[in-house]
């Protein structure tokens, strides 16, 4: 049976209960660095992304050394994450394209372009995708955007924040951006992704431990009904 979803209540519970267990410390990075960080962060936890980003900084002398490194060398840094080869290729590809077009490793000039032109510029990089554009918009350009990666999508659908039938990432992003105020965008992104990584696994969501279980559409619809059988009477031995 379909359940009625109180989206605002879910969001309120997310900001109150889940916030207590998630680190609110943010990576304050310039625009170019946020592009690299977004490649680390998509589909992974904040802790994983922080760790990998720090490895990239520590193990390579500068961005140029990263640019001329092999995918195999970078792949080591992404070990433990999903798609390490793809992530390594994207970092190298982005640095290469940036260097070929600007002869530098910075994108601070995007601040002067205005949000619309800046996001358009970002979307032209071959490694760009909707997540990357939304992440950089939210973290470095001062715009309102909710980056959608697989954990965010999965949790949003199961909670009922978006429709089960919604598949288009831009439409999903618009729905969430409408629901979440701009000032709460960063927090929402980190909280929902934490739920996705720690409880709401694709195959076996751990609803029993999830702080959002009471408000969750999926958990309610999939809860096992209590048995109506009377408890077996244990005969006393004489």
Contacts with ligand SF4, residue ranges (CB under 6 A): 155, 158-159, 195, 199-200, 205-207, 210, 212-213, 216, 218-219
Distances from the Cα of 53 to the Cαs of 12, 57, 153, 166, in angstroms? 31, 6, 24, 32
| CA neighbor of 29 nearest in space, from 162, 167, 135, 164 | 135
Question: Which of 120, 214 has the CB closer to ligand SF4?
Answer: 214
Least distance CB 81 / ligand SF4 (angstroms): 21
Task: Give dist(CA 22, CA 28) in Å, integer.
Answer: 17
Least distance CB 235 / ligand SF4 (angstroms): 40
Question: Which of 78, 199 has the CB closer to ligand SF4?
Answer: 199
| CA neighbor of 87 nearest in space, from 121, 139, 79 | 79
Residue 186 DSSP code: H
Least distance CB 21 / ligand SF4 (angstroms): 13
Residue found by looking up tokens 């990584």 in the block: 197
Least distance CB 182 / ligand SF4 (angstroms): 24
Question: Which of 14, 110 has the CB closer to ligand SF4?
Answer: 14
Least distance CB 160 / ligand SF4 (angstroms): 9
Residue found by looking up tokens 């729905």 in the block: 175
Question: Which of 29, 213 has the CB closer to ligand SF4?
Answer: 213
Question: Which of 122, 210 has the CB closer to ligand SF4?
Answer: 210
Task: Give dist(CA 77, CA 75) in Å, integer.
Answer: 5
């Amino acid at each position: 049976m379909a359940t009625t979803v109180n989206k605002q209540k879910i969001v309120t519970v997310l900001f109150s209960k889940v916030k207590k267990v998630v680190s609110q410390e943010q990576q304050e990075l310039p625009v170019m660095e946020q592009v690299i960080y977004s490649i680390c962060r998509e589909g992974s936890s904040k802790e994983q992304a922080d760790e990998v980003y720090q490895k990239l900084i520590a193990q390579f002398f500068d961005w140029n050394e990263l640019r001329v490194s092999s995918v195999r060398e970078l792949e080591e840094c992404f070990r433990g994450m999903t798609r390490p080869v793809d992530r390594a290729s994207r970092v190298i590809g982005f640095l290469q394209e940036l260097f070929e077009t600007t002869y530098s490793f910075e994108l601070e000039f995007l601040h002067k372009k205005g949000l619309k032109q800046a996001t358009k510029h970002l979307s032209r990089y071959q490694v760009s995708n909707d997540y990357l554009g939304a992440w950089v918009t939210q973290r470095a350009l001062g715009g309102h955007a909710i980056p959608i990666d697989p954990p965010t999508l999965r949790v949003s659908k199961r909670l009922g924040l978006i429709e089960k039938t919604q598949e288009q990432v831009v439409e999903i992003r618009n729905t969430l951006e409408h629901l979440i105020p701009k000032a709460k965008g960063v927090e929402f992104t980190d909280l929902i992704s934490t739920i996705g990584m720690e409880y709401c696994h694709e195959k076996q969501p751990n609803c029993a431990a999830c702080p959002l279980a009471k408000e969750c559409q999926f958990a309610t619809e999939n809860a096992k009904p209590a048995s109506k059988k009377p408890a077996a009477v244990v005969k006393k031995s004489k």
